[in-house]
Amino acid sequence: MSAQMKLGAFLMPTGHHIAAWRHPQAAADAGINVDHMIAIARTAERGLFDLVFFEDAAGVREARVELASQAARSIGFEPISLLAALAANTQNVGLVATASSSYNEPYALARAFATLDLVSGGRAGWNLVTSASEIEAANFGAQGLRAHRDRYAKASEFADVVARLWDPANRTGTIAHEGESFMVAQGLGIPASPQGAPVVVQAGSSDVGRDLAARTADVVFVATQTFDAAKAFYDDVKARVKAAGRNPDHLKIMPGVSPVVARTREEAQAKFDELQALIPDEVGLALLASYLATDALDGLPLDGPMPDLKASEGMQSRQQLVIDQSRREGLSIRQVAQHFAGARGHWRLIGTAADIADELEAWFTGGACDGFNVMPAFFPGELDSFVDLVIPELQRRGLFRTAYEGSTLRANLGLATPG
């Protein structure tokens, strides 16, 4: 059988579009409605997705209250706790959550994910991130945001400690780690799950982020908007994996994609246009400025060009992606903000199931990815549309499974079992 793509369902309470909460079909309380979350996880499992994924930020994402109240992303469960509820209400789909290496301790995090992995029968995954927000830093007594390279140095040690704690040989006894940032004496005292250890996901695209992923990750999430950029990233990271002494097939690279799909192109475009019309200028601009970690857009004419931006200590790869797109397509600040609000810099597709499948197939068969992290514009409607329309089309082409290969996340992703 030819290779088949892997799919993650990136679950956001009301949807990935910044104005999704204003859509007539949206559940206004989605972020704190566990039944809603269970329902969309079950929909992903019905679609045979490899995993569901939740991001996280330890703070309100927008400092200005009048804007935070319009974005909906500021309200939501702590994801590891939520995944425990989803584990009890699903059987096969993987369960992945973000937890920052900046404001956690490796022992506590390793213990929480190892427990989730055990109670779910081997379906847990950890998305390792470094926190890039001044708002988060202020919630943990930090004196401002750590420099980008310092954050990744700490993350590298953090990942090494967690890997040792999850090693089946170290589950009891001592590990005696004494490093630059952490000291850990004992093993977890928790037996390994059927998959051996939780899957490690990484999402950094900077040079140090790529190195960390190549050395420690099983899955990489990335934001790319063109085939050439995706192919270059794929080839570079796979080469780094090989240089690190690992099998490149044991790292799955899954770019984010935000599809709006319908039975006709006209209907799909109308669905997207309806969402775009719901974005207030100030909300779109605030989201863009937040991700770029800049106040350089304040007071500039919205119909003018994007200014040159100084490199920040925030999400450097995302900043460069936005700048490159604005130059490539000649977009104004308003146009960049509106585009960014639709998928936060990720690849966006609008069309029929065949249109969407054509694009996904071209990237996959062209060697630009191992699959995709699907980011529906709003829930539950767009996830239902993808499962009901796009999944059958991918299956018809032999590009996606018709049944789960195994009962663990590693088995379904085709990853080796540690130990």
Contact of 345 with 288, CB cutoff 8 Å: no
CA–CA gap between residue 6 and residue 252 (Å, rounded): 8
Q: What are the counts of helices (DSSP H) followed by strands (DSSP E) for the chain?
A: 16, 11
Q: Write out the DSSP string of 222-250.
A: E---SHHHHHHHHHHHHHHHHHTTS-GGG
Under DSSP, the state recorded for 219 is E
* 6-266+344-413, CATH topology level: TIM Barrel (3.20.20)
Tokens read off for 60: 């309100």
Tokens read off for 156: 């590298």
pTM: 0.88
The predicted pLDDT at position 1 comes to 57
Helix or strand or coil: residue 9? strand
Block mean pLDDT (10 aa), the chain, length 419: 91 86 83 94 98 86 58 75 97 95 90 97 94 75 68 89 92 89 92 96 88 94 94 98 96 97 97 88 76 74 77 62 77 78 79 98 98 94 96 98 97 91
Domain spans, the chain: 6-266+344-413, 268-342
The predicted pLDDT at position 283 comes to 77
**102 Cβ partners below 8 Å, 6+ apart?**
130, 131, 136, 137, 140, 146, 151, 154, 155
Cα-to-chain-centroid distance, residue 125: 12
Tokens read off for 305: 């060009």
Contact of 412 with 94, CB cutoff 8 Å: yes
